[in-house]
Amino acid sequence: GEDVEQSLFLSVREGDSSVINCTYTDSSSTYLYWYKQEPGAGLQLLTYIFSNMDMKQDQRLTVLLNKKDKHLSLRIADTQTGDSAIYFCAESSLNQAGTALIFGKGTTLSVSS
């Protein structure tokens, strides 16, 4: 079945860039997503990329997609302590009811000042 893999932890210093990596298996994925979850909260959509793109930039966020290697990354420039959270990579996948999201286990980003 479909699978999404992420590293579990990343620790950076304030002001540095953070790069969170993700690999997926479903080559038919149409969209790939990055969500942010703060403690006790729901998921906030950060950005998403269509599978025919290889890069998308949105302010401090840069998403890179290598479709050949099925590798997705999220770069956060000038990381701030408020960026500390869990970041989930997700791919869209067809299930019997339509399209659902398959999530990775999440990468916990810790930003120290």
Partner 1 sequence: GAVVSQHPSRVICKSGTSVKIECRSLDFQATTMFWYRQFPKQSLMLMATSNEGSKATYEQGVEKDKFLINHASLTLSTLTVTSAHPEDSSFYICSARTLETQYFGPGTRLLVL
Q: How many angstroms separate the CA atoms of 86 and 110, rounded?
A: 9
Q: Judged by CB under 8 A, which stretch of 9-17, 39-47, 58-66, 70-78 contacts partner 1? A: 39-47
Q: Does 64 bind partner 1 (CB under 8 A)?
A: no
- Among candidate residues 109, 106, 61, the one with its CA nearest the CA of residue 85: 109
**Complex with partner 1: residue 49 or 76, whichever CB lies closer:** 49
Is residue 94 a contact residue for partner 1 (CB under 8 A)? no
Strand partners, 62: 57, 75
- Work out whether 39 is an interface residue with partner 1 (CB under 8 A): no
Residues that bind partner 1 (CB under 8 A): 31, 33, 35, 40-45, 48, 88, 95-101, 103-106
